Amino acid sequence: MAKHETPLIDQLESGPWPSFVSDLKQEAESRAKNEKNIEYQIPQDCCDDLLGVLELSYKHGRTHWKHGGIVGVFGYGGGVIGRYCDQPEMFPGVAHFHTMRVSQPAGKYYTTKYIEDICDLWERRGSGLTNMHGATGDIIFLGTTTPQLEEVFWELGHNLNQDLGGSGSNLRTPSDCLGESRCEFACFDTQAICHDLTNEYQDELHRPAFPYKFKFKFDGCPNCCVAAIARSDLAFIGTWRDDIRIDQEAVKAYIGGEIPPNAGAHAGRDWGPFDIQKEVIDLCPTKCMRYEDGKLEINTPECTRCMHCINVMPRALRVGNDKGASLMVGAKAPILDGAQMATLLVPFIKVEPPYTEIKETVIEPIWDWWMEEGKNRERLGELIKREGMQKLLEVTGFKADPRMIQEPRSNPYVFWKADEVPGGFERDINEFRKFHQR
């Protein structure tokens, strides 16, 4: 028997999709039964009260959560987000219901034992409710009381070798695709650099001194499985400088129907025989491909790495051998004020340990500039818009490059400065008049 009547949120279970309401009810029931005899350290009925407060919010059309606070673990300025209910007498189980962010392992690889251990910990010291994973990629622990924060942190650190993630005006937990471990498209070892930068920038992750959040994301190839291009202040996207490798025999096998396109991903329905012209060549955004006399040709300088041809025919086409990454800056995906895609800063850079060039010529100069010039709550992308791409090039020392322009005439002009022009802007008028009349 449920603790609170919840007719309004019960309706959320009636749709065709899995419902979080059902999940909450399942956990509430499991905690009420307590078949494993767990010594719950926060109210056993917290999930019932969570359902109750949500129902009340639906009834009132307003939230009953208070957001933020001074809660945290000692010495860390991130990783814990204070949540308090403003109806603690009605819902004592969620009076304090803080969120903890746990730094996910690179590539999100877990052992079953690890998953069981963190779930057991959170069942005992928290609500048992998790979000695997949050938008930034962290494991999210939803709901515990203030006294449990240090206890959870201690157990994570000492028993599970696990750190908290980033929140607030910090470097957020760096996030990556699974990269070379499982994917032949990966152009660099995403997990290695994700892990390295996480360790290198511990101070930035845990002690807030930025104007706002800052996100690194690492995509091994332009398929962008972790959406680095759209969601990270500094995006690492794998690319290559030489030609796409073509296996002409395999191309013929695709055309002959011996190999299913897209690795058979669209095999649920009969789409007719594979048509390379219609399904690949004509869809190339830069028209840099042709198939003639049984031979596929790609004009690499025109290729923008859209990945479509490689995705359709992965056994015939492979990324080049001279691999690295393009670095793009300034993306954000906020709820307010609109999303913004990243802007290209470094067309190609090798991504190899110990990543000194990336740290010293890209990350740290950008941070120094943003920390000094950024307004409070201003993302890097907004600072770039406010002070200009030219300023970004100045602080990082990269030269302007045609590849930084998305399309002609849609980007602001970059003006020369006097010290960038031989002789500056001063001229000898008499010398000038020798060649030009008034």
Comparing CB distances to other proteins, the nearer of 76 and 153 is: 76
DSSP β-bridge partners for residue 102: 139, 164
For the bound state, the minimum distance from the C-beta of residue 73 to other proteins, rounded and expressed in Å, comes to: 10
Comparing CB distances to other proteins, the nearer of 161 and 376 is: 376
For the bound state, the minimum distance from the C-beta of residue 137 to other proteins, rounded and expressed in Å, comes to: 16
Comparing CB distances to other proteins, the nearer of 208 and 261 is: 208
- CA 98, 99, 103, 108 dihedral sign is positive
Alpha helix (H) ranges present in 340-426?
A: 356-357, 364-373, 380-387, 389-396
Comparing CB distances to other proteins, the nearer of 376 and 410 is: 376
For the bound state, the minimum distance from the C-beta of residue 83 to other proteins, rounded and expressed in Å, comes to: 9
Comparing CB distances to other proteins, the nearer of 71 and 384 is: 71
Whole-angstrom distance, CA of residue 212 vs CA of residue 359: 20
For the bound state, the minimum distance from the C-beta of residue 141 to other proteins, rounded and expressed in Å, comes to: 14
DSSP β-bridge partners for residue 290: 297
Other beta carbons less than 10 A from residue 44's beta carbon: 14
Comparing CB distances to other proteins, the nearer of 86 and 357 is: 86
Comparing CB distances to other proteins, the nearer of 31 and 83 is: 83
For the bound state, the minimum distance from the C-beta of residue 154 to other proteins, rounded and expressed in Å, comes to: 18
For the bound state, the minimum distance from the C-beta of residue 110 to other proteins, rounded and expressed in Å, comes to: 25
Q: For residue 216, give the DSSP letter.
A: E
Please provide residue 70's backbone torsions phi and psi, each rounded to the nearest 5 degrees. -95, 5
For the bound state, the minimum distance from the C-beta of residue 119 to other proteins, rounded and expressed in Å, comes to: 23
Q: Which helix or strand (DSSP H or E) is residue 211 part of?
A: none
Asked whether the beta carbons of 253 and 259 are under 8 A apart, the reply is yes
* Coil, strand or helix at 370: helix
Whole-angstrom distance, CA of residue 342 vs CA of residue 159: 39
| Contact residues: other proteins, CB under 8 A | 67-70, 72, 75-78, 80-82, 99, 167-170, 203, 207-213, 368, 371-372, 376-377
Other beta carbons less than 10 A from residue 230's beta carbon: 17
Q: Which amino acid is at 384?
A: I
